Chains A and B, each alone.
Chain A
Amino acid sequence: MPKPEKIKQPASGTIRRLLKLMLSFFPVMLPVTLFCILFNAAVSAIPSIFMQNIIAAVETSWQSGDWQGVSARILRLVTILAVLYVLSLTAGLVYNQLMALITQGTLKKLRIRLFDGMQRLPIRYFDTHNHGDIMSHYTNDIDALRQMISQSFPQLIISGVTVLILLGIMLYFSVWMSLLIWLGVLVIFLVTKKVGGGSARYFFRQQEAIGKVEGYIEESMNGQKVIKVFCHESESKADFDRLNDELFMVSETANKYANILGPLLNNIGNLLYVLVALGGGLLILSGLPNLSLSGMAMSISIAVPFLNITKQFVGNISQVSHQINAVVMGLAGTRRIFALMDEQPEQDQGYVTLVNATEEHGQLTESETFTGIWAWKHPHQADGTITYTRLAGDVRLYDVDFAYDPAKPILHDLSLYAKPGQKVAFVGATGAGKTTITNLLNRFYDIADGKIRYDGININKIRKPDLRHALGVVLQDTNLFSGTVMDNIRYGKLSASDADCVAAARLAGADDFISRLPQGYQTKLSENGANLSQGQRQLLSIARAAVADPPVMILDEATSSIDTRTEAIVQRGMDSLMHGRTVFVIAHRLSTVKNANVIIVLDHGRIIERGSHAELLAQKGQYYQLYTGAFELE
């Protein structure tokens, strides 16, 4: 649901920006379409003039019955009309087809821009925004925009042009009668504001009520088995009824408003029609002087087309008022889309890059081709020289402070090091700041104070993509993507061959279950691998990290409970992945910790104990308590 209160921007700015954007997408097609729409609108308004002429001709000769006398004039008029109709039809065909192209093309390009922009946003954006809300940019907002571009825009242009032309024609015929119609328009405007406003207000409330009902349904459905076990059905029915009745009430009111708007406008039109007919009759009968641009006297040949004009005029005005809801929604959606597109992308001032290199006599030389040796290429701005450092996997933290929210510091004065091939484990209760460390090493978030160095280089100087290539991460929650099992493993290294992927799966211990899947490595996964067990998903994410083969790994252990046997397999996978790498383990279950070179016990963002497993047990401190199960780890 769009939240218009969030961004207060003038509507004109949003429309201008949208139009500019559309013009840049379709620099030729858009003006052509616009021209066709204008032409089509103009031609559908003009016939009333011809009609007046034809009726005037009929008027002069119907009593004499002299068809021969007027046939030439009438046929000429009809022919011109027919030609105009053909032109208008052509324009109509063209603009309707082009509009379909423009609408969908614009939506596609906006979608792509949104998505591209979103890929560049910092992780902080995703951590601080509801995912459902981000998603609704692509669904609700784009849908509202589609409605506005494909229907409201052409309709508004057509109605606007028609109204203007009709206005001209009306004044051409009679000023007095035009005033009468304007009076009607005023009434229509007031009614639309009142009734249409009411409907908009209640439709908005209906959305809120639906949201509440949806939330309740979702919660109940998730806990349906618990409801059954506690025989809580009647209570949950009663709660639901309350919300449901509320939704019914607002939905009923919203629809009532919306439903009476049609008959109201329609019959105001009818009444206006009567008034115009009566007014025209009075003018003719009383012989009052007519005031008009044409200087024509009021006659039946004016009154009849004028009546048709009235109908057309009112029809177009009510078309506009029917579009208002769609325009309001469309604009709100557009604003939200622009707001997401305007989000500040992730900044990267890094200039140290990761390159392939060859080594001779301890001297590193950059190489164009894959050599298996990686080096950091470090250009020094001061003297213009470039140094190369071999990628080894040495990570050091110096006095690191960090806070997501400056008011609530998470990490204090954290200093530690991991030499290439060493294993560091973090242990501590929930909220101690363990998972935060992963966010800092690969610069999802930047530290507030202190320094982190990778192979002696401050990570702020390293280009983020290169830094992240040099770090592997196995996250706590496994996210798999739609596609085959093979695709998912290859995600770690796009250039990996099938054999590489299978080898990685073997290393992770995932090969066994994959080969038992119906289509093996070609089995399609969907909905985050819903057809796999938790443990199997973890094994796949380990295989994915294994194929990337980075020198430094961060392993954030999964918290969810898996059975002892699967856990042992996952454990073996992790162990082989860790072999020969610098590893940071975020331990949630302590089983991974024992053979770490150093175990770091965190408490409220501070290191309270550090040492090897044996040392820490001997200390009989916090770690000892955790290890013997006296404290909850999670």
Chain B
Amino acid sequence: MIKTLAKSIREYKNVSLLTPVFVSLEVVMECLIPFMIARLVNQIKAGSSLHHLLFSSLWLALMALVSLFFGSLAGLTCATASSGLARNLRKDMFYAIQDYAFENIDKFHTSSLVTRMTTDITNVQNAFMMIIRIAIRAPLMLIFAFVMAFIMGGRMAWIFLVVLPVLSAGLILVIARAMPVFRRVFRKYDRLNASIQENINGMRVVKSYVREDYEQQKFNAAAEEVCKDFTRAEQILAFNNPLMQFCIYTVMTFVLSYGSYTIITTRGLALDVGQMSALITYSFMMLMSLMMLSMVFVMITMAIESGQRIVAVLNEGSSLANPPQPVRQVANGSVDFDHVSFKYNLNADRLVLADINLHIRSGETIGIIGGTGSAKSSLIQLISRLYDATEGTVRVGGVDVRLYDLETLRNQVAVVLQKNVLFSGTIRENLRWGNQHMTEAQMRQACQIACADEFIEQFPKAYDAYIEQGGSNVSGGQKQRLCIARALLKQPQILILDDSTSAVDTRTDARIRQGLKTYLPQTTKIIIAQRTASVQDADRIIVLDSGRINGIGTHQELLEQNEIYREIYTSQNKMEADHAQA
């Protein structure tokens, strides 16, 4: 995991390495300062000349300034390094996701990806900052202070050999006991928050059924539970502070009593007053560093989970790749399926598509019809190589789709997906997705064919009207028409409409199909629909049932020979029949 994450440091390698260096220099200075102060104190005590005092003070001031200098430098490089790592991680994740194949996309929920790219990265960023700064600083400080204490206090410093292990053991114990509780409680806390979210979103249901009190009871119980666990975790953690105080007090009592004894009995030879006060300073430094180390440790353990979630995204290699010498030309719009079988998951037992043999000529109009789960969408997604066939070969323009450059192939095979989305931006910006260099005339023509021009022109800003995120400010039918226009602008050799007119009224639907026929006569058109009306004038209609081709033929042929098709047709036309009676 560390290796993968470290790859994203790149241009911030220098600052990342400089930070610990600066920190070390800062620590050296900080540890020398009490030493110098002890000297100063002794000078005062000995009644040294003013000249000597000033000299020592200047030295001290200089050391403080050097410490400030390196400390600030470390702070600056550390900020750059950690923010830089976060930036590169976000970039790498985003790029990795952009290169995902459909199969990879299916694996992650949107919300989970968003959390991974925000909260998780922030956690890693903070942990990295801690590692290059505090995790270096604290042990160094501990060691330096310890050495200095020995130099100054001699025998006295042995107390630290007693106190430090006690504190470390205590801290480790506290962390070891608190961490599992914390992990558990954070999961419960997430669930509690999820249930609040559910309540807010379902407020109409809650109020309609007058379930306010019931919801409260449910919530109170859950809140009580979370509170209990949180309190336990925090109570364990609350031992840290007194433990720390205990150690400081022990050291203070010892140094003051035994120190006084040593000073007096050795007549200031083994220890003097200045050194005694420095010893106390060093003890503070040591104990604080230990405390910091324990905090860093907690942060790092918490960041490990975030790190793993990030690495999972980074290491998810795209399951589709460009071939070494890709074909960059699509000869024509013919499509061939040769013994094609497909399943989404290699380990799944059931095939989604089984032994499909199908040959579509360039320029043909094909309708596909069938119930939910008949694998209509799966079938067409193989054409533009959104997924790879599990067995058999799919060919476009006579060439295996796996030999094409992906971009070339997808530019020539335009798919209007069933679950389609518009992006926040103007209508024009959305349409430009189809063709970056479209002219005004091309844009208008595409909208005209998709019957989108009529409502676009009613917007006060027409083509510059702003579309909200997810296209929430246009109706379902309008959204579908814009999506069709966007695909038309690609001027593809193959156009696939996956149930793309379901929310469009029947008359407009017919007009769109008519438009496609006249404006794109050369283009192969594949239309998936729920309504037989949408496909009945296609050259051929394919009836899919449970991943197999149940029948192929014209509307008339299928009506006569295909049971499934006839059934769908009759159920949908009963309404019109009723209407005729009325």
A255-275 near B? 1/0 per residue, CB < 8 Å = 110111011101100110110
**Cα A44 to Cα B241 with chains together (Å):** 13
| B411 interface residue (CB < 8 Å to A) | yes
Query: Of B217-225, B339-347, B553-561, which stretch is located at the interface?
Result: B217-225
From residue A551, how far is it (CB to closest CB) to chain B in Å? 15
> Given the interface contacts A54-B256, A229-B417, A565-B372, does A65 sit within 8 Å of B196 by beta carbon?
no
- Contact with B424, one of A93, A219, A307, A430 (Cβ below 8 angstroms): A219
Contact A92 B245 (CB under 8 A): yes
**Cα A492 to Cα B499 with chains together (Å):** 35
- Segment 396-454 of B: residues with Cβ below 8 Å from A: 406-407, 410-411, 414-415, 417, 419-421, 423-424, 433-434, 436
Known: A479-B202, A630-B505. 18 other contacts (CB 8 A): A50-B256, A67-B261, A81-B252, A112-B220, A123-B207, A223-B423, A231-B407, A237-B95, A263-B74, A267-B68, A274-B57, A281-B43, A285-B44, A285-B50, A311-B281, A562-B372, A632-B475, A632-B504
| A61 interface residue (CB < 8 Å to B) | yes
B44-72 near A? 1/0 per residue, CB < 8 Å = 11010010011001001101110110011
Contact B68 A475 (CB under 8 A): no
Contact A281 B234 (CB under 8 A): no
B87 / chain A contacts, CB cutoff of 8 Å: 244-245, 247-248, 251
Nearest A-chain residue to B70, judged by Cβ: A263
> Given the interface contacts A108-B227, A248-B83, A251-B86, does A224 sit within 8 Å of B105 by beta carbon?
yes
Please report whether the interface of chain A is mostly helix, strand, loop or mixed according to DSSP.
helix
| A343 interface residue (CB < 8 Å to B) | no
Query: Of B262-270, B457-465, B518-526, which stretch is located at the interface?
Result: B262-270
| B573 interface residue (CB < 8 Å to A) | no
Contact B201 A479 (CB under 8 A): yes
Contact A255 B78 (CB under 8 A): yes
Nearest A-chain residue to B190, judged by Cβ: A139
> Given the interface contacts A475-B208, A634-B476, does A222 sit within 8 Å of B253 by beta carbon?
no
From residue A75, how far is it (CB to closest CB) to chain B in Å? 7
Nearest B-chain residue to A633, judged by Cβ: B505
Closest 10 A/B residue pairs (Cβ): A263-B71, A259-B75, A479-B202, A629-B506, A255-B79, A108-B227, A96-B238, A100-B234, A267-B68, A270-B64
- Contact with B44, one of A97, A300, A564 (Cβ below 8 angstroms): A300
Contact B256 A256 (CB under 8 A): no
**Cα A88 to Cα B257 with chains together (Å):** 19
**Cα A111 to Cα B505 with chains together (Å):** 48
B76 / chain A contacts, CB cutoff of 8 Å: 256, 259-260
A62 / chain B contacts, CB cutoff of 8 Å: 263-264, 267-268, 273
Contact A548 B209 (CB under 8 A): yes
**Cα A124 to Cα B26 with chains together (Å):** 58
12 A-B interface contacts by CB (under 8 A) = A55-B273, A101-B235, A112-B219, A222-B110, A229-B417, A233-B99, A255-B129, A256-B76, A277-B60, A281-B43, A468-B207, A561-B503
Contact B419 A244 (CB under 8 A): no
**Which residue among A240, A248, A258, A267 has the maximum number of chain B CB atoms within 10 Å of its CB?**
A267
Nearest A-chain residue to B113, judged by Cβ: A221
Nearest B-chain residue to A71, judged by Cβ: B261
Query: Of A7-15, A210-218, A599-607, which stretch is located at the interface?
Result: A210-218
Nearest A-chain residue to B274, judged by Cβ: A304
Contact B277 A307 (CB under 8 A): yes
| B204 interface residue (CB < 8 Å to A) | yes
Contact A228 B264 (CB under 8 A): no
B490 / chain A contacts, CB cutoff of 8 Å: 230
Contact B568 A135 (CB under 8 A): no
**Cα A65 to Cα B201 with chains together (Å):** 80
A39-57 near B? 1/0 per residue, CB < 8 Å = 0100010010011001101
Query: Of A114-122, A316-324, A401-409, A420-428, which stretch is located at the interface?
Result: A114-122
B152-186 near A? 1/0 per residue, CB < 8 Å = 00000000000000000000000000000000000
| B338 interface residue (CB < 8 Å to A) | no
> Given the interface contacts A225-B105, A244-B90, A311-B281, does A264 sit within 8 Å of B98 by beta carbon?
no
> Given the interface contacts A222-B470, A260-B75, A594-B578, does A267 sit within 8 Å of B65 by beta carbon?
yes
| B82 interface residue (CB < 8 Å to A) | yes
- Contact with B256, one of A81, A123, A230, A251 (Cβ below 8 angstroms): A81
**Which residue among B97, B118, B207, B572 has the maximum number of chain A CB atoms within 10 Å of its CB?**
B207
Task: Give the interface residue-count category, chain A.
Answer: 35 or more
From residue A177, how far is it (CB to closest CB) to chain B in Å? 13
Contact B40 A277 (CB under 8 A): yes
B273 / chain A contacts, CB cutoff of 8 Å: 55, 58-59, 62, 300, 304
B12-49 near A? 1/0 per residue, CB < 8 Å = 00000000000000100010010001001101110100
A247 / chain B contacts, CB cutoff of 8 Å: 87, 90
Contact B118 A613 (CB under 8 A): no
Nearest A-chain residue to B72, judged by Cβ: A260
From residue B150, how far is it (CB to closest CB) to chain A in Å? 21
**Cα A43 to Cα B484 with chains together (Å):** 76
| B195 interface residue (CB < 8 Å to A) | yes
| B469 interface residue (CB < 8 Å to A) | yes
Contact B75 A150 (CB under 8 A): no
From residue B500, how far is it (CB to closest CB) to chain A in Å? 11
**Which residue among B41, B74, B101, B226 has the maximum number of chain A CB atoms within 10 Å of its CB?**
B41
**Cα A440 to Cα B423 with chains together (Å):** 34
**Which residue among A253, A273, A632 has the maximum number of chain B CB atoms within 10 Å of its CB?**
A632
Nearest B-chain residue to A277, judged by Cβ: B40
A590-631 near B? 1/0 per residue, CB < 8 Å = 010010000000000000000001100110000000011111
| B466 interface residue (CB < 8 Å to A) | no
From residue B496, how far is it (CB to closest CB) to chain A in Å? 9
> Given the interface contacts A101-B231, A277-B37, A280-B44, does A139 sit within 8 Å of B209 by beta carbon?
no
- Contact with B249, one of A66, A88, A221 (Cβ below 8 angstroms): A88
> Given the interface contacts A99-B238, A274-B60, does A104 sit within 8 Å of B231 by beta carbon?
yes
**Cα A172 to Cα B402 with chains together (Å):** 87
Nearest B-chain residue to A261, judged by Cβ: B75
> Given the interface contacts A217-B118, A465-B210, A565-B372, does A104 sit within 8 Å of B227 by beta carbon?
yes
| A528 interface residue (CB < 8 Å to B) | yes
| B297 interface residue (CB < 8 Å to A) | no
**Cα A82 to Cα B249 with chains together (Å):** 8
**Cα A270 to Cα B60 with chains together (Å):** 8
- Segment 503-521 of B: residues with Cβ below 8 Å from A: 503-508
| B392 interface residue (CB < 8 Å to A) | no
A223 / chain B contacts, CB cutoff of 8 Å: 421, 423
A119-142 near B? 1/0 per residue, CB < 8 Å = 110010010000100110011000
Nearest B-chain residue to A100, judged by Cβ: B234
| B582 interface residue (CB < 8 Å to A) | yes
- Contact with A230, one of B33, B215, B433 (Cβ below 8 angstroms): B433
B280 / chain A contacts, CB cutoff of 8 Å: 308
Contact A632 B477 (CB under 8 A): yes
> Given the interface contacts A100-B231, A100-B234, A135-B200, does A210 sit within 8 Å of B44 by beta carbon?
no
| A587 interface residue (CB < 8 Å to B) | no
B319 / chain A contacts, CB cutoff of 8 Å: none
Contact B252 A47 (CB under 8 A): yes
**Cα A528 to Cα B415 with chains together (Å):** 30
A103 / chain B contacts, CB cutoff of 8 Å: 234
**Cα A263 to Cα B73 with chains together (Å):** 10
| A399 interface residue (CB < 8 Å to B) | no
> Given the interface contacts A123-B204, A218-B114, A251-B83, does A92 sit within 8 Å of B234 by beta carbon?
no
**Which residue among A65, A221, A236 has the maximum number of chain B CB atoms within 10 Å of its CB?**
A221
| B329 interface residue (CB < 8 Å to A) | no
> Given the interface contacts A259-B79, A629-B507, does A244 sit within 8 Å of B530 by beta carbon?
no
Nearest A-chain residue to B490, judged by Cβ: A230
B90-111 near A? 1/0 per residue, CB < 8 Å = 1100110111111001000010
From residue B312, how far is it (CB to closest CB) to chain A in Å? 15
From residue B82, how far is it (CB to closest CB) to chain A in Å? 7
Nearest A-chain residue to B205, judged by Cβ: A479
**Cα A544 to Cα B201 with chains together (Å):** 17
